[in-house]
A and B are shown apart, each in its own frame.
Chain A
């Protein structure tokens, strides 16, 4: 009898071991990298990401996806969805106790990362397992250690690096403003030719934070310190005054703010406004190429500087294909993938990779990429670079903008 029971136990253990391997329960940061990639072969990985930029979508569909298939037998499926919606979905699944999720990979940073981390929506620390990350990236770089002031703790891997720039049509504007005061004057002199996306939008919010930086004594007063509303009350007041001051001369007298960056881009492409803006210093290239933006589009940054940040890839708590997700992230961090992303053909955004860790050949290839006429020289960008503030500032801007500017 006892024997029977022990047999049964053995069978049970075997079964549970098998089933464990196939579910998300197993800790996939422990096994060797070879084991992970062989486990990933022939599986499907679902990447959920914002889908509002054609160049980015094409980069994934035309470059990354075929490469995954070829190198790892992985099927990468891109699902377009706004990041807050993705987190909402994960949150609901967590509430319902659903351990078998549908999302394997998300594109995330800043406030969304903070929310996801605080609510336990992410798998956990994994970046140390990625060979490409440890080989080619400066793992100790502060840009990868914190994300809008939130400690990364290895829960997301750096995928790209962007800097905020403004775009203008050089046929219409000869000298773009050099500072936010000059912008203020420019808006008054050119009524109806400028606007910015609303504060809920990623880009619109960044524009507001630029004003906040500019109104502070030093930008470091904002990004260097955690948010204390009392301390920055005066700066905030100056920011709202600045914004209320320009409102009357904005496009449509500030009665309507573009809901998204794409809407602002459309206004710009139709010549209704003369400037647009956005994270990613080179994003105008593919839009010019497609004939959406005029050929004469150029970019500029203003004093006191322009905010830049890193964006990341991460794995949700209930991903069913963790080996696949890890393999995919590793591939997307590879020098080859980063180089293709860096070229203006699809996306053209900057890479967080460390050039000194690359092979001579690879480094040369990066150096020879022509980023295009609309992209500022790297020295100029570097000089004006400002780090992100804490995610709490994003929330502050979003919550108060509506009361302080729109409802006034």
Chain B
């Protein structure tokens, strides 16, 4: 009876899943086109523009994700006791109030070559002209994109990790301390096992978002190299419609890449979980 009810409870979620999966399947069908199958995918592999974009996207999204998680983890470890209070937590969450593209706009306002920082640097006599200010937005290294994403995702990481930290019982720490463990031991033996699933998930969520979201790179990215989402959008909405299947093919390729990454992540998690269970018994 109870099991049956549990299945019923899962029903809404699976009805919902029909939406994205149907959409994704249609995208796959569109990417195949009418001619010989996979021809669009071969076109992609021939396109220098696509390959350069893929490399740049993975690099940029990867750096943004790792930085977000590292900084978020550092902040939460250092200030956990403060962050459980409402008002400090709200302060940290301020960037989450704003949509990504609004935050990107803020980054330009602040760090652009004629932004507030460069103006202050010149007026205060620190730099001679605004031309001396380093190029941090719309730059070829993706610095602006990374800054925007890290700034926006660190609060998300804190949001995702905070419940985990509050679930760790203080007794565990006491145990490590009595056994003579140091701070590092505390982290690896107490926190990490709790954190691991959430960390893997946070990585996947942030990585796939920053890899495929359009708005921020469109605003703060440069002409070349470009993020894959911008290229896909260009192929999709550009006025030469022959490129449309290419847009679908590039998005499907990215999706498949992300799915593989997800499977690897979850296999890894499942294994450590099993190990922990066996070890426990």
Contact = CB atoms under 8 A, between A and B. Distances in A.
A and B touch in the complex (CB under 8 A): yes
Interface of A: 82, 84-85, 87-88, 91, 111-112, 115, 119, 192, 198, 200, 252, 255-257, 259, 267, 270-272, 395, 398-399, 402, 406-407
Contacts of A259: 218, 223
Interface string B105-145: 00000000110000000000000001100010011100000
A257 B221 CA distance: 10
A259 B219 CA distance: 8
Nearest to A114: B239
B49 A395 contact: no
Nearest to B113: A272
Interface string B218-262: 100011100000000010111111000000000000000000000
B36 interface: no
Nearest to A408: B224
A84 B239 contact: yes
A187 to B, nearest CB: 16
A407 B276 CA distance: 51
A270 B131 CA distance: 13
Contacts of B240: 395, 398-399
Contacts of A84: 237-239
Pick from A111, A112, A256 the residue with the most CB of B within 10 Å: A256
Pick from B48, B224, B234, B239 the residue with the most CB of A within 10 Å: B239
B224 A112 contact: no
A200 B234 contact: yes
A198 B234 CA distance: 12
Given A255-B139, A272-B130, A88 B222 contact: no
Contacts of A111: 239
Nearest to A271: B114
B223 A406 contact: yes
Contacts of A200: 234, 238
B140 A255 contact: yes
19 contacts: A84-B237, A84-B238, A87-B239, A115-B241, A119-B241, A192-B131, A252-B135, A252-B138, A255-B222, A256-B138, A259-B223, A271-B114, A272-B130, A395-B239, A395-B240, A398-B238, A398-B240, A406-B223, A406-B224
A255 B135 CA distance: 11
Nearest to B49: A402
Grouping DSSP codes into helix (H, G, I), strand (E, B) and loop, the B interface class, with mixed when no group exceeds half, is loop
Contact of A256 (B222, B234, B239): B222
B114 A256 contact: no
Interface string B156-171: 0000000000000000
Given A256-B222, A402-B49, A407-B224, A82 B237 contact: yes
Contacts of A395: 239-240
Contacts of B223: 198, 255-257, 259, 406
Contacts of B131: 192
Interface string B50-74: 0010000000000000000000000
| Category for how many chain B residues contact A | 20 to 34
B237 A91 contact: no
A91 B135 CA distance: 40
A398 B237 CA distance: 14
A390 to B, nearest CB: 14
Contacts of B140: 255-256
A405 to B, nearest CB: 10
Contacts of A406: 223-224
Interface in B175-223: 218, 222-223
Nearest to A257: B223
A399 B49 CA distance: 12
A225 B122 CA distance: 52
B114 A270 contact: yes
Nearest to B52: A407
B114 A88 contact: no
Contacts of A119: 241
Contacts of A402: 49, 224
Given A88-B236, A192-B131, 11 more contacts: A87-B239, A111-B239, A115-B239, A115-B241, A255-B140, A256-B223, A267-B114, A271-B114, A395-B239, A399-B240, A402-B49
Given A192-B131, A256-B139, A271-B114, A85 B241 contact: no
A402 B234 CA distance: 12
Minimum-distance CB pairs A-B, first 8: A270-B114, A256-B222, A256-B138, A257-B223, A406-B224, A84-B239, A84-B237, A272-B114
B257 to A, nearest CB: 24
Contacts of A91: 241
A257 B240 CA distance: 21
Contact of A112 (B139, B222, B236, B239): B239
Contacts of A198: 223
Nearest to A269: B114
Contacts of B238: 84, 200, 398
Pick from B49, B52, B140, B240 the residue with the most CB of A within 10 Å: B240
A257 B138 CA distance: 9
Contacts of B138: 252, 256
Contacts of B139: 255-256
A259 B137 CA distance: 13
A85 B237 contact: yes
Contact of B237 (A88, A255, A257, A399): A88
B215 to A, nearest CB: 12
Nearest to A118: B241
Contacts of B234: 200
